[in-house]
Amino acid sequence: MPNATYIALIPLLPLAAFILLGIFGRKHFKNSAGIIGTFLLLVSTALALYTAYGYFFDYGKVNGVYQKLIPLQYNWLQFSPGLSIDIGILLDPISVMMLVVVTFISLMVHIYSLAYMKGEERFPTYYAFLGLFTFSMLGLVVSSNIFQMYIFWELVGVSSFLLIGYYYDRPSAVAACKKAFIVTRFADLGFLIGILVLSFYSGTLDFNTLIQRLTSPESSELKTAVAASFLGVSALTWGVVLVFIGGAGKSAMLPLHIWLPDAMEGPTPVSALIHAATMVVAGVFLVARLFPVFSMSAPALEIVSYVGISSALFAAIIACTQTDIKRVLAYSTMSQIGFMMFALGVSGSGGENGLGFTASMFHLFTHAMFKALLFLGAGAVIHFIHSNEMKDMGGLRKYMPITHITFLIACLAIAGVPPFAGFFSKEEILLAAYQHNSFIYWIALITSGLTAFYMFRLYFNIFWNKEHEPQGEHHHGEGGFAMMMPLLLLAVGAAAAGFIPFGHFVSSDGAALESEFHFQFSIAPVALGLMGIFTAMWLYKTKNNKPDKIAVSLNGFYKAAYHKFYFDELYQLITKKIIFNLIGRPAAWIDKNVVDGFVNATGSTTQTISEKIKGFQSGKVQQYAIYFLAGVIALAVLFIYVWK
Amino acid sequence: MNLTLLILLPLLTAITILLLRNTAQVKWVALTGSTLQLILAFYLLFVFNNERSAGNTAQMLFELQYNWFPAWHISFHLGVDGISIAMILLTAFVVVAGILVSWNITKMTKEYYFLLILLSMGAYGFFVSLDLFILFFFLEIAVIPKYLLIGIWGSGKKEYAANKLALMLMGGSALVLVGLLGLYFSTPERSFDLLALAHFNIPIETQMICFPLLFVGFGVFGGLFPFHTWVPDGHSSAPTAGSMFLAGISMKLGAYGCLRVATYIMPEGAKEYANFIIILSTIAILYGAFATMMQKDLKYINAYSSVSHCGFVFLGIGMLTKTAMTGAVLQMVSHGLMTALFFAVIGMIYERSHTRQVNEMGGLLKVMPFIVSVLFIVGLCSLGLPGLSGFVAEMTIFVGSWQNADTFHRVATIIACMSIVVTAVYILRAIGQTAMGPLKAGFENLTDATWNEKLAAILLVAGILAIGLAPSWLNNLISPATDIITQKIFPMAIGVK
Amino acid sequence: MMEPGLYHLLFISGALFFIGVFGFFTRRNLVTMLMSIELILNSVNLNFIAFNKYLWPDKMDGLFFAIFIIAIAAAEAAVAIAIIINLYRSHGSIDVESAEELKN
């Protein structure tokens, strides 16, 4: 068994950075905050790598199958005898893989930010928030309990909120962070109810027990969960679909994706860390974590795969039209996550059937590398140009050679050109899709062609196209060692990560999965990818008017895609018009006028009545005496004749 | 431990304050008295846990009984269990913080502090009494100071608000009194004793009448829909410490009464009326949240959100499962701390910016980082962020509610869950408009918190974190006590599953 | 000549009572009103004595009550006259209509 202490330190060190820098940073660590945060994370990364080494090559495997180990568990809150939130650490291939990815990417971003964020007024706060995010994300991936995952899920959401709103004095950043939080929160509602459903039928919140109870065919829990139905759908399906809604929100799947492009308002390294490599794949991770339960419900898997593929295609189309480079990358992230999602959807559990699962995790891994690289590269460009818009760029290859080369590697990787990382993982995904659902396969194929096209559109627009005319002095060049080192390291990852025999480590049942390489199968995707690249080259390598012509000829469609198919407007309509005007305003009005009106009416009625009857109080003694006499006589009559 | 100390110490403090002439002395005496009370509350928690771990399983500990009016069988009967201790701790925290934030009050300082301490005495007495007459007595003690606090030191439509609050609460206590008398005369030996009443099986007919009387009566105090309208007006007109006490302590008196008196003594009534309670509280939760969305005044925002959050308390009670009821008590404590802190922060902002309208503010994070950080914490607590107390309470209620397997309870739970989204909307709107965005002109020279404000905020934040990060201690304190209540409702049940 | 019986006495007492009531309601002068009250009280006295004599001649309760009432009436007269004097001092009249500050 592994030593629990140092594994616990992996998430706790970033937490320490958060507390230290969050409370004392402004006063005491104004300049050293970055170094402190980075150092703590470096230790954390080392520990994560050590853990991964130990798990994959030493104690993790028993009889050729990777075990689910729980080196640490602490009873945090006991709801009822069966249900409790236990904060713990669960080690299995995917969580260990995620530990490495999260710490590594986070470390890269920490180092990169040393230069990128230098001189910011809230520099310590920035590192504090990065620490909080890293802590939450690590806590999320090692969760041993579904509620623990929900806890860290929310924490991840809030740290994303804080980081998007880092430039809090920009109204657009404020709007974006609120939007991100509320949209994901809405999705979390599904997650929460899903947890309630699953925990009710399985009688536990613990992942291992829950999965075991809801998947073994002879368990009574599974039988009741399948038998119980609501609106004609079994409780099990409801549970996992609701959980999936939560995952879809975090992972920006259609139609809950609207927050992701806006989230680019945050500092670019943050986009690289949170909105590209780690947090947004939490939804994929969630589905993967509960994958055995998902695989018990065919409708749920179908939903996962169709949501995934439609998001992939949809985002790819939009990405072709955007002009803000970070937004292009944001849509490409959404598209790639769509790939991971549908790969899970078309997968089965166990053995050869689990190819989609492995492929999805593999793509998650490689995507983290090249997408972080793309974002950090874009960050370097933005740092240089001080603009996010493509029209301000062009011809930068001469000014930023390192950025150029690394960016190109990342683009080749994401386009699926061999032998870069993306090729291998995407190949596996397509293979899994081909084996299970040919419709999804064809759409995925088209999407991967589009991916190559829009990535190289981006690439050519930044580094080629028109010549760059330096305005004034670019005194800081490419950003120095702190910014270039992460780019180079990630470029190595993006170039070489594909050669890892991933199926040996991560598979749906823990046993090694041999992935064979089918040469003839990969011809179509690669050819499509190259076609995309050459189209982009033809259109964008030099400045010309071909793109505009095409845009004009595709007028309606182009416009719709440029406006992101009017999703934002639709949501605006729903929130502003319907929720605010049709629910919020009436509720406030009813409270003020009906409910409170009733209270006030009671008061004013009392007052009116007393106003009326105070005439009796004339101050004339003899009148009182008459009332008195009348009263006595009335009572006497009553007593004598009525109540004998 | 002698529980009368809990009542005597505030009484003594209040009398000392009356005798003093110097306002500085008044403040320090009030602060010392309330701090001692806080220490006493912690000591009580400590000895209580000691007794429990020593194996004392009596329902109430440190019981103490004097014959107060033997002819009517009224006795001065005190005792505590886990729920009362949680409430006492909450009160102690809020009182100290409330006294700290009103450090700068200049108008009739002595009377102000006297009333605050008197109110706290009423609350302490209420939470430790086991005799319903005494309980009612302390409830009334806690009402009158509120009227004066709002009427004299308030702002805005203070006379209207004070009248409304006092009249509605008096209406509530009238219902409570009738209910109590009903209970009193239903027993052959004519007793006001809570435990005696609980052990005597009240006839079902009496329960059917007395349960709604008591529940609604206490519900008025707790902001039960549709008797909640004193909440927004009262809170927004009250001075800062007044709002803190009102929302942090006295709304909890009502909720505690609903649980301890109505539900515990009359389980059959609770069963009969549970669905009504659930319907009312579900409406309150969602409708309160939507109404909050439309508010512009920070105090109104928090007041309406209190209606929504207190709906959770009643929902937890109405669900009648042990987990949900534990959640209800957790929510009482959590909401008490949170809302007190929220009002404290609003007060601090108002003192500096002289406005409470969110659209007149902006970018305050730049000038008052401490206060705004606290505002963030309290806002996040309100929307149920893990690590802060609101999450623990709400999740316990949700899990407990879900244990009822029929569609009605399910739908109610889902509707209640929806409020977490709406809460996020209004909290983020409020925070986004006040704290973020460009700094509005005229606010450049505002200062950050002073020592007393920092201390108050840190105290309450510590309370919120203590529950949010390690909820076990509070959960273990409360759940044996709620278990007794639910056992009485479903004597044979081993838990609904 | 017929011996006066219970009914005669009750008739007289009744007459006295209603005269007193009539006077109390119609007169505005406080002293006259006081006198009317005395009439009412004395009619009650008469009742007590009459009932005592005719129904329970061996008992004295009615007589005692009458004596009580006389004593109380005396005390009441003292108080009432004091009030009247004070009223006269403050309002300059003893008309009952003039004292209506408690109106509304």
Q: Where are the alpha helices (H) located in A122-267, listed in sequence order?
A: 123-141, 146-164, 171-202, 207-215, 220-227, 235-250, 259-262
Helix (H) or strand (E) holding A503: helix A502-505
pLDDT per residue as tens digits for the range B266-287: 888 888 899 999 999 999 898 8
Please give the structure tokens belonging to residue B438.
């460009």
pLDDT per residue as tens digits for the range A33-56: 888 889 999 999 999 999 888 888
* Strand pairing class (A69-78; A84-91): antiparallel
Residues in A touching C101 (Cβ below 8 Å): 619
pLDDT of A504: 79
* Strand pairing class (B61-69; B74-80): antiparallel
pLDDT of C68: 93
Residues with Cβ within 8 Å of A260's Cβ and at least 6 positions away in sequence, in order, are: A180, A252, A275, A280, A330, A333, A334
pLDDT per residue as tens digits for the range A470-500: 665 555 567 778 888 888 888 888 888 888 8
- Taking CA–CA distances from C26, the nearest residue in chain A reads A622
pLDDT of A1: 64
pLDDT of A507: 79
Whether residue C48 contacts residue C62, with contact meaning beta carbons closer than 8 Å, is answered with yes
Terminal C-alpha separation, chain A: 93
Across A432-441, A532-541, C11-20, which has the greatest mean pLDDT? Answer: C11-20
Q: What number of other Cβ atoms are within 10 A of residue B104's Cβ?
A: 12
DSSP reduced 3-state for A84: strand
Cα A338 from Cα A426, distance rounded (Å): 12
Q: Per DSSP, what are the bridge partners of residue B129?
A: B78
How much is the average pLDDT of B384-409? 89
Listed by start position, the domains of chain B span 4-489
Q: What is the DSSP letter of A515?
A: P
Whether residue A136 contacts residue A148, with contact meaning beta carbons closer than 8 Å, is answered with no
Cα B214 from Cα B178, distance rounded (Å): 8
How much is the average pLDDT of B114-133? 91
Q: What's the Rg (C-alpha) of chain A?
A: 31
DSSP reduced 3-state for B190: coil
Chains A, B: CB contacts within 8 A come to 137
- Taking CA–CA distances from A186, the nearest residue in chain B reads B421
Contact status of C101 with chain A (Cβ, < 8 Å): yes
Contact status of B165 with chain A (Cβ, < 8 Å): no
Residue contact C96–A621, C-beta within 8 A: yes
Cα–Cα distance list, B154 to B91, B143, B301 (Å): 22, 16, 18
- Distance (Å) from the C-alpha of residue B424 to the closest C-alpha of chain A? 6
Cα A357 from Cα A335, distance rounded (Å): 18
Cα B388 from Cα B409, distance rounded (Å): 27
DSSP string, B19-86: H---HHHHHHHHHHHHHHHHHHHHHHHHHHHHHHHTT---SSEEEEEEEEEGGGTEEEEEEE-HHHHH
Amino acid letter, A9: L
Task: Read off φ and ψ for residue B424, nearest 5 degrees.
Answer: -60, -40
- Taking CA–CA distances from C98, the nearest residue in chain A reads A620
Does the pLDDT value for residue C89 go beyond 80?
A: yes
Best mutation site among A607, A617, A621, A629 for testing chain C: the one with the most C CBs within 10 Å?
Answer: A621
Peptide bond just before A81 cis, omega within 30 deg: no
Contact status of A630 with chain C (Cβ, < 8 Å): no
How much is the average pLDDT of A163-178? 87
Share the mean pLDDT of chain B: 88
Residues in B touching A140 (Cβ below 8 Å): none
Task: Report CA dihedral (B188, B191, B197, B203) to the nearest 10 degrees.
Answer: 30
Describe the crossing of helices A207-215 and A220-227 by its angle, rounded to 10 degrees: 70
Residue contact C99–A619, C-beta within 8 A: yes
pLDDT of B492: 60
Please give the structure tokens belonging to residue A449.
């062609």
Residues in C touching A620 (Cβ below 8 Å): 96-97, 100
Cα A340 from Cα B187, distance rounded (Å): 68
How much is the average pLDDT of B63-90? 89
Q: What number of other Cβ atoms are within 10 A of residue B57's Cβ?
A: 8
Cα A135 from Cα A278, distance rounded (Å): 12
pLDDT of A468: 67
Helix (H) or strand (E) holding B90: helix B82-101
pLDDT of B460: 92
Peptide bond just before B188 cis, omega within 30 deg: no
pLDDT per residue as tens digits for the range A109-120: 999 888 888 878
- Least Cα distance to A318 among A558, A568, A571, A569 occurs for A558
Contact status of B387 with chain A (Cβ, < 8 Å): yes
Q: Per DSSP, what are the bridge partners of residue A66?
A: A61
Contact status of A629 with chain C (Cβ, < 8 Å): yes
How much is the average pLDDT of B57-79? 86
Residue contact A619–C25, C-beta within 8 A: no
How much is the average pLDDT of B221-249? 88
- Distance (Å) from the C-alpha of residue A237 to the closest C-alpha of chain B? 17
Does the pLDDT value for residue B491 go beyond 80?
A: no
Cα B482 from Cα B256, distance rounded (Å): 12
How much is the average pLDDT of A154-158? 91
- Taking CA–CA distances from A613, the nearest residue in chain C reads C104
pLDDT-wise least confident of A67-81, A239-253, B333-347: A67-81
pLDDT-wise least confident of A39-53, A501-515, A583-597, C29-43: A501-515
The pLDDT confidence band at residue B495, using thresholds 50, 70 and 90, is very low
State pTM to two decimals: 0.88
pLDDT of B12: 92
Best mutation site among B290, B413, B473 for testing chain A: the one with the most A CBs within 10 Å?
Answer: B290
pLDDT of A299: 87
Residue contact B396–A186, C-beta within 8 A: no
C-beta pairs of A550-553 under 8 Å, 24+ apart in sequence: A551/A321
Return the percentage of chain B with pLDDT > 90, whole number: 32
The pLDDT confidence band at residue A264, using thresholds 50, 70 and 90, is confident
- Least Cα distance to A354 among A547, A153, A503, A523 occurs for A503
Please give the structure tokens belonging to residue B452.
């007393």
- Least Cα distance to A99 among A39, A38, A10, A18 occurs for A10
C-beta pairs of A497-500 under 8 Å, 24+ apart in sequence: A497/A365, A497/A366, A497/A369, A497/A421, A498/A366, A498/A419, A498/A420, A498/A421, A498/A422, A498/A423, A498/A424, A498/A425, A499/A419, A499/A424, A500/A365
Whether residue A75 contacts residue B475, with contact meaning beta carbons closer than 8 Å, is answered with no
The pLDDT confidence band at residue C104, using thresholds 50, 70 and 90, is low
- Distance (Å) from the C-alpha of residue A603 to the closest C-alpha of chain C? 19
pLDDT of B496: 44
pLDDT per residue as tens digits for the range B430-477: 888 888 888 887 777 778 878 888 889 999 999 999 998 889 889 988
Return the percentage of chain C with pLDDT > 70, whole number: 97
pLDDT of A588: 82
pLDDT per residue as tens digits for the range B175-205: 999 999 988 888 888 888 888 888 888 888 8
Cα atoms in the Cβ-side hemisphere of radius 13 Å centred on A156: 31
Contact status of B389 with chain A (Cβ, < 8 Å): no
How much is the average pLDDT of B70-76? 86
Residue contact A158–B322, C-beta within 8 A: no
pLDDT of A602: 86
Whether residue A474 contacts residue A316, with contact meaning beta carbons closer than 8 Å, is answered with no
How much is the average pLDDT of A596-619? 85
Residues in A touching C100 (Cβ below 8 Å): 618-620
pLDDT of A477: 66
DSSP string, A226-259: HH-EETTEEHHHHHHHHHHHHHHHHTT-TTS-TH
B311 vs B189, which has greater pLDDT? B311
- Distance (Å) from the C-alpha of residue A125 to the closest C-alpha of chain B? 11
Residue contact A588–B413, C-beta within 8 A: no
Cα A307 from Cα A312, distance rounded (Å): 9
Q: Do chains A and C touch (3 or more CB pairs under 8 A)?
A: yes
How much is the average pLDDT of A379-403? 81
Q: Per DSSP, what are the bridge partners of residue A75?
A: A86
pLDDT of B226: 84
pLDDT of A475: 54
The residue behind tokens 């440190």 is: B62
Contact status of C95 with chain A (Cβ, < 8 Å): no
Prediction ipTM score? 0.91
Residue contact B386–A203, C-beta within 8 A: no
Residue contact A584–B295, C-beta within 8 A: no
Residues in C touching A617 (Cβ below 8 Å): 102-104
pLDDT of C13: 93
Residue contact B391–A151, C-beta within 8 A: yes
Please give the structure tokens belonging to residue A359.
């492929």
Q: What is the DSSP letter of B383?
A: T
- Taking CA–CA distances from C37, the nearest residue in chain A reads A625
Task: Read off φ and ψ for residue C76, nearest 5 degrees.
Answer: -60, -40
Does the pLDDT value for residue A619 go beyond 80?
A: no
